[in-house]
């Protein structure tokens, strides 16, 4: 029997909530993450469904086998990739949204209006008009794919929906920086432009797209008979948090009649932090913007968002309802503005969290993450055995452990790659690495309302310890040769 009586549901629901609350209480002292034992891994991967089980036993199994082995992003010392802890009210929002379980394809029910409500707020954050097109998505990758599809539709010489690229005489070209996120590359391939027609423009010393190099590339392509159609700028690169020169790129796009897209999946909401706001000047001129509430607005995954200035163009790209059948006395359906028909009620978790803390609460939290990153950078600069590799205006810090200034770059690369694995396995902190100008660096990204200064100290201590252990292990293996 799949159904539960209301009393059974209540009892199991309280049990699940208690389990979550217990982990929240213990969180500061828990390891950030721990390896999944081999036998458990095998058990989890074996196909379920051969037997039936008691619902309470199943929830207790989740408590024993799943909750103790998280990715780690609820911890204050998780500073990897761009994954925030889930705002607790957002967790309840997901539960309540599942209980309503609507399809937010559109129509006259509460979930539709809640989504429009949060979208109106996001538009206002970026200086977009209230009648711009907008839709919540699964995440940043789809939030970038959708507007690039609109761009393709608008920039095509022929009818893209009918003839695809078969109607095009000249290849269209897209520009992003070498630091642009891989989802732009993926979108260029998926949408049929082809990666050979995605130019990765060099960056300046601050890892921002070089405007001169961009202009040269556009001119070269025009001279070669190609059609430059779009610049996909970054408002917060994943590697260093660099924000491209948006106003200058807006000017260049206007001059060359190109679509100006901004990938703000990581950094877009940094605009709410007073210290970072000036970097976003010009974003309000973008034709489209991708942002990710499930990153810097701390709502549980999945929740991305696309904004497209020209709502009619967005609808023309996706709608299968012919204009003569459209009835615009009611709000048009979201399914006419994107890829999905059945759509989850993603808006509720954001609607709740946003009202809980308000825009000013978000400003304060995001500013605090940026300030913590600044503090981490100060600590690194004040240390003889650490070197700062890059620090953008947002909340990413790239650094290296360099205990001996005489060590060669290649040795430092190997040391930092090896120590990173030790740090991750220690459970004390979780950071990831990246490459900058061919050098291996440790990358700490703070989008975490739980992180405090003491967590930064624990991260740096874990890095030093892992570095010392790596050097010792290397010395031992050398002396055995």
Ligand X SMILES: Cc1ncc(COP(=O)(O)O)c(C=O)c1O
Using CB under 6 A, list all residues that contact ligand X: 82, 139-141, 181, 183, 234, 236, 238, 263, 265-266, 292, 304
Burial class (CB in 10 A: 0-12, 13-18, 19+), 472: exposed
CB of 242: closest distance to ligand X in angstroms?
10
Pick 123 or 443: Cβ nearer ligand X: 443
Pick 137 or 470: Cβ nearer ligand X: 137
Look at the block and give the residue holding tokens 């074996």. Answer: 46
- 176: nearest Cα among 139, 207, 154: 207
Q: Strands across the sheet with 259-264, in order?
A: 133-137, 304-308, 288-291, 259-264, 227-234, 172-177, 198-201
Pick 234 or 470: Cβ nearer ligand X: 234
Pick 140 or 433: Cβ nearer ligand X: 140
CB of 290: closest distance to ligand X in angstroms?
7
Task: Compute φ and ψ for 230, nearest 5 degrees.
Answer: -160, 140
Please, which residues have CB within 8 angstroms of residue 19's CB and are 6 or more apart in sequence? 59, 62, 63, 67
CB of 176: closest distance to ligand X in angstroms?
10
Q: Strands across the sheet with 439-445, in order?
A: 386-391, 396-401, 439-445, 432-436
CB of 84: closest distance to ligand X in angstroms?
11
CB of 332: closest distance to ligand X in angstroms?
26
Burial class (CB in 10 A: 0-12, 13-18, 19+), 215: middle
Pick 386 or 396: Cβ nearer ligand X: 396
Cα distance between residue 323 and residue 457, in whole Å: 60
Cα distance between residue 464 and residue 266, in whole Å: 28
Pick 142 or 389: Cβ nearer ligand X: 142
CB of 261: closest distance to ligand X in angstroms?
11
* Pairing of β 172-177 and β 227-234: parallel
CB of 179: closest distance to ligand X in angstroms?
9
Pick 200 or 458: Cβ nearer ligand X: 200
Task: Compute φ and ψ for 345, nearest 5 degrees.
Answer: -90, 70
């Amino acid at each position: 029997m799949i159904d539960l009586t209301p009393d059974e549901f209540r009892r199991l629901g309280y049990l699940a909530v208690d389990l979550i609350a217990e982990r929240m209480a213990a969180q500061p002292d828990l390891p950030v993450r721990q390896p999944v034992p081999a036998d458990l891994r095998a058990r989890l991967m074996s196909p379920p469904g051969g037997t039936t089980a008691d619902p309470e036993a199943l929830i207790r199994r989740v408590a024993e086998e799943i909750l103790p082995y998280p990715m780690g992003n609820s911890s204050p010392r998780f500073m990897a990739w761009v994954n925030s802890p889930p705002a607790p009210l957002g967790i309840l929002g997901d539960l309540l949204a599942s209980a309503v379980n609507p399809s937010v394809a559109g129509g006259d029910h509460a979930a539709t209006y809640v989504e429009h409500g949060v979208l109106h707020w996001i538009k206002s954050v970026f200086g977009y008009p209230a009648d711009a097109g907008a839709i919540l998505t699964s995440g940043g990758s789809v939030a970038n794919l959708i507007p690039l599809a609109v761009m393709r539709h608008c920039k095509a010489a022929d009818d893209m929906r009918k003839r695809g690229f078969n109607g095009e005489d000249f290849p269209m070209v897209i520009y992003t920086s070498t630091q642009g996120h891989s989802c732009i590359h993926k979108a260029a391939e998926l949408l049929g432009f082809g990666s050979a027609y995605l130019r990765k423009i060099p960056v300046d010393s601050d890892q921002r797209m070089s405007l001169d190099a961009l202009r040269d590339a556009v001119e070269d392509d025009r001279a070669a008979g190609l059609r430059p159609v779009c610049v996909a700028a970054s408002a917060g690169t994943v590697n260093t948090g660099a924000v491209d020169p948006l106003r200058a790129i807006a000017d260049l796009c206007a001059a060359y009649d190109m679509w100006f897209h901004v990938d703000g999946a990581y950094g877009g909401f940094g605009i709410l932090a007073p210290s970072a706001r000036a970097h976003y000047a010009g974003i309000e001129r973008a034709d489209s913007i991708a942002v990710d509430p499930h990153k810097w607005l701390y709502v549980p995954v999945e929740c991305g968002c696309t904004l497209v200035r020209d709502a009619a163009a967005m609808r023309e790209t996706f709608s299968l309802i012919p204009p003569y059948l459209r009835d615009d006395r009611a709000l048009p359906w979201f399914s006419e503005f994107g890829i999905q028909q059945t759509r989850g009620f993603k808006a509720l978790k954001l609607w709740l969290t946003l009202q809980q803390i308000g825009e000013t609460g978000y400003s304060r939290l995001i500013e605090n993450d940026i300030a913590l990153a600044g503090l981490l950078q100060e600590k690194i600069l004040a240390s003889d055995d650490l070197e700062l590799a890059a620090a953008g205006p947002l909340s990413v810090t790239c650094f290296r452990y360099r205990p001996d200034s005489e060590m060669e770059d290649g040795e430092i690369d190997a040391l930092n790659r090896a120590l990173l694995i030790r740090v991750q396995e220690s459970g004390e902190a979780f950071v990831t690495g990246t490459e900058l100008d061919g050098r291996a660096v440790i990358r700490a990204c703070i989008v975490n309302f739980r992180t405090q200064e003491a967590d930064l100290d624990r991260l740096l201590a874990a890095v030093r310890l892992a570095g010392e252990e790596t050097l010792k292990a290397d010395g031992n293996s050398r002396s055995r040769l």
